Amino acid sequence: MAYLLHDPNFLVFGIASSEANARSIYGNYDHFKSSGCVKTISDDDFNSLNLVTKTAKVTEAGVVYRDNELTIDSKEHLDKILEGVKNTVDLTIKRKNFTNNPTFKSNLEAYKVVLDSLDTSTINYPIKSLEKYISDNNLGTPINTLQM
């Protein structure tokens, strides 16, 4: 069981593989949950969102998933994405409270090592997403920025 978080206007802003991870990232998780802004999703749907193979839209009727048609078509494009993801990982590690969930912090630190060692000049483009590339090539466990 995993979780999708959205605002009152149904804008998706987060996913979490567990409540512990959601609580580590969103200090006000209980508020979102009591406001109806947390949806329980399947592990398969979580993985599709985490690897960016699908997108999610929340409506009053529930969550609608669609195949992600976007790709990363060049080294320059991936380098820009990679820079943003690295910055997000760094900020998440520095600013969030992992007292009750040190494993998630360790996973983020390990993911940062994977990102730092990625050589974007050796990749055959286009690719579906950074996360899918990392997963498909067994480079580590990808953590989408929606988890941060």
| CB burial of residue 87 (10 Å; 0-12, 13-18, 19+) | exposed
Determine the Cα–Cα distance for residues 90 and 93; give it in Å rounded to an integer.
5
The answer to whether the beta carbons of residues 4 and 63 sit under 8 Å apart is yes
Mean pLDDT (whole number) for 66-85: 97
The predicted pLDDT at position 72 comes to 98
Mean pLDDT (whole number) for 62-83: 97
11-28 tens-digit pLDDT: 999 999 999 999 999 989
Confidence of residue 146 (pLDDT cuts 50, 70, 90): very high
Going along the chain, which residue ranges are E strands?
Answer: 2-6, 12-16, 38-41, 54-59, 62-67
pTM above 0.75, yes or no: yes
Mean pLDDT (whole number) for 105-117: 97
| 97, pLDDT greater than 90 | no
